[in-house]
Homo-oligomer: A and B are copies of this chain.
Amino acid sequence: MSSLLYVSCIISLLLQAGLASKTRHFKWEVGYMYASPDCEEKILLGINGQFPGPTIRAKAGDTIHVELKNALHTEGVVIHWHGIRQYGTPWADGTASISQCAINPEETYVYRFQVDKAGTYFYHGHYGMQRAAGLYGSLIVEVADGEEEPFHYDGEFNLLLSDWYHQSIYDQMVGLSSKPFRWIGEPQAPIASTQNPPSQALSAFSSLLINGRGQYNCSLAAHLMEGSSTCKLTSKDCAPVVLRVLPGKTYRLRVTSTTSLSSLNLAIGNHKMMVVEADGSYVEPFIVDDMDIYSGESYSVLINTDQNPSSNYWLSVGVRGRKPNTQPALAIINYQPNSPSKLPESSPPVTPEWNDYNHSKSFSSKILARQGTPKPPSYAERQIALLNTQNKINGYIKWSINNISLALPPTPYLGSMRYHLKNAFDPSKPPDNFPSDYDVMKPPKNPNSTQSSNTYVIQFNSTVDVILQNANALADNVSEIHPWHLHGHDFWVLGYGDERFEEKDASQFNLKNPPLRNTVVIFPYGWTAIRFVADNPGVWAFHCHIEPHLHMGMGVIFAEGVDHVRRIPKEAITCGMTANKLMNNGLP
Contacts and interface: CB of A to CB of B under 8 A. Distances in A.
Interface in A507-537: none
A504 B33 CA distance: 49
Nearest to A96: B74
A188 B191 contact: yes
Nearest to A41: B189
A174 B33 contact: yes
A255 B77 CA distance: 39
Nearest to A36: B194
Interface stretch (A147-155, A377-385, A471-479, A575-583): A575-583
A167 to B, nearest CB: 10
B576 A583 contact: no
A309 interface: no
Interface in A20-60: 32-34, 40-41, 43
Given A43-B171, A128-B73, A585 B585 contact: yes
Interface in A168-201: 168, 170-171, 173-174, 178, 188-196, 199, 201
A170 B173 contact: no
A130 interface: yes
A190 to B, nearest CB: 4
* Residue picked from A173, A419, A574, most chain B C-beta under 10 Å: A574
B189 A190 contact: no
A106 B188 CA distance: 29
A40 B193 CA distance: 10
Given A41-B189, A190-B192, A574-B580, A74 B75 contact: yes
A579 B584 contact: no
A195 B201 contact: yes
A107 B106 CA distance: 20
Contacts of A196: 192, 196, 199
Contact of A232 (B41, B191, B194): B194
A105 interface: yes
Given A43-B171, A128-B74, A168-B170, A574 B579 contact: yes
Contact of A76 (B76, B192, B408, B576): B76
27 contacts: A32-B173, A43-B170, A43-B174, A73-B127, A73-B129, A73-B551, A74-B75, A74-B76, A74-B130, A102-B105, A104-B410, A104-B575, A105-B410, A106-B408, A166-B191, A168-B168, A191-B191, A192-B196, A192-B199, A195-B217, A570-B580, A574-B580, A579-B579, A582-B587, A583-B583, A583-B586, A585-B585
Interface of A: 32-34, 40-41, 43, 73-77, 96, 101-102, 104-107, 127-130, 166, 168, 170-171, 173-174, 178, 188-196, 199, 201-202, 217, 232, 408-410, 419, 551, 567, 570-571, 574-576, 579-588
Given A41-B189, A574-B583, 16 more contacts: A32-B174, A40-B194, A74-B96, A74-B102, A75-B75, A76-B76, A76-B105, A102-B104, A104-B575, A105-B410, A170-B170, A190-B191, A570-B580, A574-B575, A583-B583, A584-B586
